[in-house]
């Protein structure tokens, strides 16, 4: 069992509580659509490369009428980072010990008029302590109203802390969620931040605000679009777009690499992959 200090405990508790609230809201949307789908929770344990217990997490997965596949995972892990990979992690170049706790969410929707979405926030400890994460909207068929709603809600969360945050973190998302070999962005963006270190209290408060902003805006967008009509051409567009999404997550995504390199649960790490995708 990992021994956590007060900051680590506070972060873990928040991520777990946010998971519960998000899953409850997503299940409520399924009820509104006449579905009885619920999340299935799979606990998992991790063994550190040293052989010691290395924490673990819970994979939450739901397949329903509105959410074709949605995963909401929480994990709290720690131990030793492995070899050269460890040297690439902020603050771990000279000391491989680490701690990480966070929430990771990806939703792929049954109706191609409803945008898919990704959200992740995390707290990491090496020789430094920092928060990272963000959220980005991934519509196969973008709608200006939804994109504006998503960005405005995240901007308000950022502006409450620092007016420089939103332009900086929005640009970071645009740069990060890009598929170089396709020369296209993964979606319509959002915010991305990392290595937010220094005073724990305001950085933790900002990370909580990002989670609250996501919980405010995304269910609203889902309810706005989930009954929109669609046709076979829309589904074909969605499935081709999902192929691009899978390419990014398997080739470029840092979170996927971190999970695989630190001995995370494979099913939880790869829950981000869409249920059906096409490549022509």
Angle between helices 165-176 and 144-159 (to 10 degrees): 130
Give the homologous superfamily in CATH for domain 6-271: Coproporphyrinogen III oxidase, aerobic (3.40.1500.10)
- pLDDT at position 90 is 85
pLDDT digits (tens, 9 = 90+) for 94-128: 888 999 999 999 999 999 999 999 999 999 999 99
Does the active-site annotation cover 195?
A: no
Residue in this structure with the two tokens 């991790």, named with its chain if needed = 46
Angle between helices 200-225 and 6-32 (to 10 degrees): 10
Q: Among the options 90, 108, 118, 185, which is catalytic?
A: 118
Rounded to the nearest angstrom, the gap between the alpha carbon of residue 252 and the centroid of all alpha carbons in its chain is 15
Task: Report the predicted TM-score, pTM, of the whole model to 2 decimal places.
Answer: 0.94
- pLDDT at position 82 is 77
% of residues, the chain, pLDDT over 70: 100
Count of CA atoms in the C-beta half-sphere (13 A) of 134: 25
pLDDT digits (tens, 9 = 90+) for 59-89: 999 999 999 999 999 999 999 887 777 777 8
- pLDDT at position 2 is 85
Starting at the edge strand found earlier in the chain, the sheet holding 53-62 runs 40-47, 53-62, 67-80, 97-109, 116-125, 129-138, 189-197
Query: CA separation (Å) from 112 to 125, 141, 142, 252, 272?
Result: 39, 7, 10, 24, 17
- Rounded to an integer, the average pLDDT of 237-247 is 96
pLDDT digits (tens, 9 = 90+) for 15-61: 999 999 999 999 999 999 999 999 999 999 998 877 888 999 999 99
- pLDDT at position 130 is 96
187, 138 contact by CB (below 8 A): yes
In this structure, the number of other CB atoms found within 10 A of the CB of residue 54 comes to 21
pLDDT digits (tens, 9 = 90+) for 175-229: 999 999 999 999 999 999 999 999 999 999 999 999 999 999 999 999 999 999 9
Q: Is 149 left (phi over 0), alpha (psi -120 to 50) or beta?
A: alpha
Element (H, E) at 78: strand 67-80
271, 57 contact by CB (below 8 A): no
Distance CA 69, CA 229 (A): 20
Domain boundaries, the chain: 6-271
In this structure, the number of other CB atoms found within 10 A of the CB of residue 49 comes to 14
């Amino acid at each position: 069992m990992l021994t956590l200090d007060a900051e680590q405990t506070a972060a873990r508790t928040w991520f777990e509580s946010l998971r519960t609230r998000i899953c409850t809201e997503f299940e409520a949307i399924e009820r509104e659509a006449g579905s009885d789908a619920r999340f299935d929770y799979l606990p998992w344990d991790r063994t550190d490369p040293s052989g010691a217990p290395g924490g673990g997490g819970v994979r939450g997965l739901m397949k329903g009428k509105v959410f074709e596949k949605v995963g909401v995972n929480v994990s709290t892990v720690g131990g030793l980072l492995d070899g050269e990979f460890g040297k690439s992690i902020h603050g771990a170049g000279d000391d491989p010990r680490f701690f990480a706790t966070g929430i990771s969410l990806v939703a792929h929707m049954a109706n191609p008029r409803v945008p898919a979405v990704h959200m992740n926030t995390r707290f990491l400890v090496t020789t430094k302590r920092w928060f990272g994460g963000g959220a980005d909207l991934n519509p196969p068929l973008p709608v200006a109203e939804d994109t504006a709603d998503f960005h405005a809600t995240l901007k308000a969360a950022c502006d409450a802390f620092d007016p420089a945050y939103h332009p900086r973190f929005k640009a970071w998302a645009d740069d990060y969620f890009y598929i170089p070999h396709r020369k296209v962005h993964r979606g319509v963006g959002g915010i991305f931040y990392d290595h937010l270190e220094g005073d724990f209290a305001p950085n933790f408060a900002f990370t909580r605000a990002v989670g609250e902003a996501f919980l405010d805006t995304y269910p609203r967008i889902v309810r706005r679009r989930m009954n929109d009509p669609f046709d076979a051409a829309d589904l074909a567009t969605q499935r081709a777009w999902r192929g691009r999404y899978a390419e990014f997550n398997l080739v470029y995504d840092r979170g996927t690499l971190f999970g695989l390199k630190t001995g995370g649960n494979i099913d939880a790490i790869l829950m981000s992959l869409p249920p059906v995708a096409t490549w022509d």
